[in-house]
Structure 1
Amino acid sequence: MPQLALYTFGVLKSPLADPTPLTREFYDIGGAVYGKLSQAPGYLAHAEAAGGDRGSLFEADWGAWGEFAVPTWYDKGRTPETTALAATLSLWTDLRLAVDAIYTGLHREALNRRYDWFERTGHANYVFWWVSDDETPAWRDGVSRLEHLNDHGPAPHAFTFPDSFAPDGTPARTRSKRHTG
């Protein structure tokens, strides 16, 4: 049975290593948010670096998730001291369950505060696509799909909640058009 891959990407207002309260607050809430999401129905896995060091995204060993990659429009730092981004790559069983997990609870609270922490880039900040059940998506896959979404709009290859597709490529319906990221 196909699995749903989700890649998210945001440009932070300040580097992860920045000691200011807002940066610390964002980083600290991330662990709790992922803890809740990992217990949600439909959640399968997410990319985790072997070392898990704060800000060392580019140098980290991501195992089966591949080498860390970012969209071409990211123009900030790539060292632990200068990296100013947040990215996730995860697998889900079902679009409806992913929507329910992401738009409720602690993650919803964090989404409501996203503009405290993230720049408005004018680019989509997430993308979905279907993968076979034996496939682990790579960071490069997520970047490629997000860039495709930004350049060409939603399609079975790369889509969003409101403009989603079933594994067979037919349009799927979500409960409303309010989920635009």
Structure 2
Amino acid sequence: MPRLALYTFGVLKSPLADRAPLTRDFYDMGEAVYPKISQHPGYLAHAEAAGGDRGVLFEADWDVWGEFAVPAWYGKGRTAETTALAATLSLWTDLRSAFDAVYTGPHREALNRRYDWFERTGHPSHVFWWVSDGVIPTWQDGVSRLEHLRDHGSAPHAFTFHHSFAPDGTPARIEGIGPQSDQVR
């Protein structure tokens, strides 16, 4: 059975290593969000660095998730002191589960504050695609799909919540959002 991969990417206003209150607030919120997300129905797994160090993304061992990668438009630092980004890579059973996890509870609260922490880049901040059972998406897969989405718009290869597709490539819809088509529940 196909599984849904989700890659998110945002450019932070300040480096992860910054000790300013706003950065600490971002971390504190994240520490509340991630445990809730991982308990959400439909959640399967997410990329975690072997060491779990904050701000150590490029040097980390990501095991089966591959080498850490970022979109071409990211122009800030790549060291533990200068990295100014937040990225996630996760697997879900379906669109509805991912939607509910993102737009409810603590993650919804974090989304409401995203412009406190993230720059408005004009680039997409998330992308979905379907993977075969047993396939673990890599960071590079996520970057490639996000860049494809930016360059070509939503398609079965790379899509968003608002313009989504079923595993067979047909347009899909999460009830309550996106263009009218078949509903995904």
Q: In 1, Cα distance between the equivalents of 2:177 and 2:77?
A: 34
TM-score by length of 2: 0.95
**Cα distance, 1:124 vs structure 2:** 0.3
Partner of 2:110: 110
Residues 27-106 of structure 1: pairs in structure 2 closer than 5 A: 27-106=27-106
**Cα distance, 1:174 vs structure 2:** 1.5
Q: In 1, Cα distance between the equivalents of 2:15 and 2:175?
A: 36
Partner of 1:167: 167
CA-based RMSD of the aligned residues comes to 0.8
Q: In 1, Cα distance between the equivalents of 2:110 and 2:176?
A: 20
Q: Which amino acid aligns with 2:69?
A: A
Is 1:148 equivalent to 2:153 in the alignment? Answer: no
Is 1:124 equivalent to 2:120 in the alignment? Answer: no
Q: In 2, Cα distance between the equivalents of 1:176 and 1:126?
A: 19
TM-score by length of 1: 0.97
Q: In 2, Cα distance between the equivalents of 1:32 and 1:63?
A: 25
Q: In 1, Cα distance between the equivalents of 2:89 and 2:66?
A: 11
Partner of 2:9: 9
Q: Which amino acid aligns with 2:7?
A: Y
Q: Which amino acid aligns with 1:132?
A: S
Q: In 1, Cα distance between the equivalents of 2:176 and 2:148?
A: 23
Q: In 2, Cα distance between the equivalents of 1:172 and 1:162?
A: 9
**Cα distance, 1:29 vs structure 2:** 1.4
SS at match of 1:36: helix
Partner of 1:138: 138
Identify unmatched segments of 5+ residues in structure 2: 179-185
SS at match of 1:48: coil
**Cα distance, 1:49 vs structure 2:** 0.1
Q: In 2, Cα distance between the equivalents of 1:60 and 1:71?
A: 18
How far does the alpha carbon of each residue in 1:21-65 deviate from its partner, in whole angstroms, 9 at most, with x for none? Answer: 000110121121010000000000000000011111000000000
SS at match of 2:32: helix
Q: Which amino acid aligns with 1:49?
A: A
Number of equivalenced pairs = 178
Contact persistence 1:162–1:176 (CA under 8 A):
no
How far does the alpha carbon of each residue in 1:71-98 deviate from its partner, in whole angstroms, 9 at most, with x for none? Answer: 0000000000000000000000010111
Partner of 2:176: 176
Q: In 1, Cα distance between the equivalents of 2:39 and 2:32?
A: 11
Q: Which amino acid aligns with 2:92?
A: W
SS at match of 1:109: helix
